[in-house]
Amino acid sequence: MIEEKENIEEILKKHNVIGQNDTIENFFLLPYDEIFKKLQTFFISLRNYFKPIPEKQSDRLFFYVLYLITFSDFFYAFQKSIDNYEIKTNAKRIINDINNLIIKELSPYILSFFNWDFNRRIWKKYNNGYKTEYIKSTILEIDNEIKGNSEAALKKYIELFFEFILENLDKILKDFHEIQHESLIAKKNDAYKFRNDLSEILENNKLNEFIDSALENQFLDLYKPIANSFIEGIIKSNGRFDYLLYSFIDAQSQYKNLLENQLKITENIDDLPIADLKNALSKKEIKYFINKLNTYFASVPNVLIKNTNEAFYHIFIHIILKLLGCDIQSEVQTNVGRIDAVLKTNNYIYVIEFKISSAQKAMKQIEDRKYSQQFEMQNKEILLLGISFDNNTMTIDENYELKQIENNKKR
């Protein structure tokens, strides 16, 4: 604790949160508003440092989340070790503020994890009953989990997470080596040993050795009260790592909302203008395509999309197009980052970037990172498409950016 305290104090001094001769104890004796303002400024600067930049991986912000977790964990231990009521009270309030930040930043990553799991399923036809039944059963399963009624959720999600790690380990390692910031160090050999260990666990079904009914019950004892308070619209972070479960439940809830609306579309899929959507893509009629997608967004009750972010919009579009039978892939890996989506028609390859800010920024990222390069030897013309979302109307902005690249192979 002493060494960790010295490290945290050093970081806070380095960023002028506390004075060079000051201590954390003195800092937490300040009025709460002053403490909050200083830490808020520090966290904003930290987030800006980890923002994606050209030629770097797109999920650098995950390291910002790790820093928030480090501070939350330290302040939790710190307030437990202090007897002074004022210091303890201010520290608890700051912990809650940091934990809310963690939930906000971490939920989109977990939501993307759910989408990864959904995206592994490939349907050759858009109008078969299996999709409807799969979505219904998934909604029911998630609903039971959120209510704390599932007795095998821990094993299910750990197994899924291990599979996700194995599939993405090379990219994750690259991210760690890309960023050199204070104490973030990855040991490559240890990481690859970890991958081998994970493979053995999954291939030999060894999870049963670690996760038995007793452990599942212990998990439910932690999960249920947090899930209940979340359902009631309350976030109470009494435990040290409650925010991790809140983030997970928040993402579960968003994913359930997405699937509920996809179910409406899937059940009425024969009445949808699928041919029109596909023809619009084939003819580069992007305005019509966006307007039609916006009719789906407009059908979603406002209460279901109150926590909108880029990941939510992205996944909503992905699932719609996937269920309609479009050839779309999300989070496509390149040597300089990840393309939000690649959508293929008979004639075109759409390279798509989504942004909350503006379509121009989305297009700039596509061009700066040369996302189209890996498709230039395919016998199709490449269309770069920058799309932005309007959080006020909760729809796709009609002001998109579209640029066409004639393929090397077609020249």
Domain boundary among 108, 134, 154: 108
**Cα 67 to Cα 105, 249, 372, distances in angstroms:** 12, 21, 34
Q: Are 354 and 388 in contact (CB under 8 A)?
A: yes
The pLDDT tens digits of the residues spanning 237-268 come to 777 888 889 999 988 988 898 888 778 766 66
Strand 381-390 versus strand 401-405 pairing type: antiparallel
**Domain annotation covers residue 253:** no
| Structure confidence at residue 2 (pLDDT) | 62
CB-based burial, 350-388: b 16+ in 10 Å, e otherwise: bbbbbbeeebeebbbbbbebebbebbbeeebebbbbbbb
Q: What percent of the chain has pLDDT over 90?
A: 13
Strand 381-390 versus strand 395-396 pairing type: antiparallel
**Domain annotation covers residue 218:** no
**Domain annotation covers residue 339:** yes
**Domain annotation covers residue 258:** no
Reported confidence tier of residue 57, pLDDT bands at 50, 70, 90: very low
The pLDDT tens digits of the residues spanning 182-231 come to 444 445 556 667 777 878 888 877 887 788 888 888 888 888 888 888 88
**What is d(CA 160, CA 248) in angstroms, rounded to the nearest whole number?**
14
Residue 276, domain extent? 272-411
| Structure confidence at residue 303 (pLDDT) | 47
**Domain annotation covers residue 206:** no
| Structure confidence at residue 125 (pLDDT) | 56
The pLDDT tens digits of the residues spanning 111-144 come to 888 888 887 775 655 555 677 888 888 999 999 8
Domain boundary among 88, 108, 128: 108
CATH value at residue 350: 3.40.1350
**Domain annotation covers residue 295:** yes
Helix (H, G, I), strand (E, B) or coil at 124: coil
**Domain annotation covers residue 32:** yes
Cα first-last separation, the chain = 65
